[in-house]
């Protein structure tokens, strides 16, 4: 059984998520909800723990995970920074990597294509060392979900090194660091089309270690990532599920604007990482 600790979960949108999750997933799921509001579920829906304020919500929800009672932490209707601040307290021992990052699993039905995308939500303008840690995080996730030798593309506007283009310099430095990596192919700089499209590779007569078959896309900074992420969902009808990684358990962040389908995808992605 997989147990999900939900911080701020006694809310209509989370109740819908829980009910849909139990219908969708074959694995048996248990939800433990921490909130200050009235319990809107019942004993068949979730286990409810009443809290006095938001500080107690995050403390109890995070401690429940730290004590080994839950395998996934899910943010309900509370402030993200409040949850992350509690999560990062050293006493819990939940931060396992130097850098936390966001990894999304993106599926584009019309292209029959699924890939991982990082980091579109956590690190704003990573330097070389931070980007190395972001790559380490996504490499671990790829292995956990069954991609034994992921092809990880470090995106830039072009595939050639350009000292005047910061993303190109960053990709080159990170790729150089991983040049002896045996459990993944980590390459850049490379443009989005060459990383994802066999047709573009043929048209440009491009030859490299990643030729339209990337398993993972790594964006150079959050502006590019946010634009790509939203473009895929708005115009390519992509389904996206994302988690925060670099912690002992996957962390699912939801917002009121997320659709139930998006929340379900994120929960499913977290389940694959266990």
pLDDT in tens, 82-128: 999 999 999 999 999 999 999 999 999 888 899 999 999 999 999 99
Assess whether pLDDT exceeds 80 at residue 40: yes
pTM exceeds cut of 0.85: yes
Q: For 242, phi and psi rounded to 5 degrees?
A: -130, 155
Q: Where in the chain do CATH 3.40.718.10 domains reside?
A: 2-96+247-272, 101-239
Neighbours of 217 (CB within 10 A): 23
- Bridge partners of 241? 105
Report phi then psi at 104, rounded to 5: -115, 140
Q: Is the pLDDT of residue 182 over 80?
A: yes
Residue 5, strand partner residues = 32, 73
The reported pLDDT for the residue numbered 214 is 98
Asked if residue 155 has pLDDT above 80, the reply is yes
Dihedral pair phi/psi, residue 232, rounded to 5°: -65, -40
Q: How confident is the model at residue 164 (pLDDT cuts 50, 70, 90)?
A: very high
Summarised one tens digit per residue, pLDDT across range 216-267 is 999 999 999 999 998 998 899 898 999 999 999 999 987 777 788 889 999 9
More confident residue, 254 or 4: 4
Residue with tokens 């021992």: 93
Map residue 252 onto helix, strand or coil: strand
| CATH, range 2-96+247-272 | 3.40.718.10
CATH architecture of residue range(s) 101-239: 3-Layer(aba) Sandwich (3.40)
pLDDT of residue 255: 73
How high is the pLDDT of residue 257?
A: 72
Q: Are strands 239-245 and 101-108 parallel, antiparallel or unpaired?
A: antiparallel
- How far apart are alpha carbons 88 and 68 in whole angstroms? 16
User: How much is the pLDDT for 248?
Assistant: 95
């Amino acid at each position: 059984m997989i147990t999900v600790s939900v911080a701020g979960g006694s809310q209509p949108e989370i109740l819908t998520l829980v009910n849909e999750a139990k219908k969708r997933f074959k694995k048996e799921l248990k939800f433990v909800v921490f909130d200050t509001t009235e319990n809107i579920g019942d004993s068949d829906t979730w286990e409810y723990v009443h809290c006095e304020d938001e500080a107690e919500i995050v403390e109890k929800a995070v401690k429940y995970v730290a004590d080994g009672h839950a395998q996934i932490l899910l943010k309900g209707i509370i402030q993200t920074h409040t949850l992350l601040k509690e999560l990062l307290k050293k006493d819990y021992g939940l931060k396992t990597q130097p850098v936390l990052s966001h990894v999304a699993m993106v599926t584009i039905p019309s292209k029959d294509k699924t890939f991982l995308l990082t980091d579109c939500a956590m690190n704003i303008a990573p330097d070389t060392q931070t980007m190395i840690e972001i790559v380490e995080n996504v490499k671990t996730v790829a292995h956990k979900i069954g991609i034994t030798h992921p092809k990880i593309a470090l995106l830039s506007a072009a595939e050639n090194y350009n000292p005047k283009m910061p993303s190109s310099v960053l990709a080159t430095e990170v790729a150089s660091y991983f040049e002896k990596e045996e459990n993944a192919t980590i390459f850049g700089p490379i443009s989005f089309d060459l990383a994802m499209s066999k047709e573009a590779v043929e048209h440009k007569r491009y030859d490299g270690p990643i030729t339209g078959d990337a398993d993972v896309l790594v964006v150079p900074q959050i502006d590019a990532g946010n634009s790509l992420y939203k473009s895929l969902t708005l115009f390519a009808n992509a389904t996206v599920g994302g988690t925060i990684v670099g912690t002992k358990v996957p962390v699912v962040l939801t917002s009121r604007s997320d659709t139930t389908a998006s929340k379900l995808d994120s929960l499913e992605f977290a389940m694959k990482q266990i």
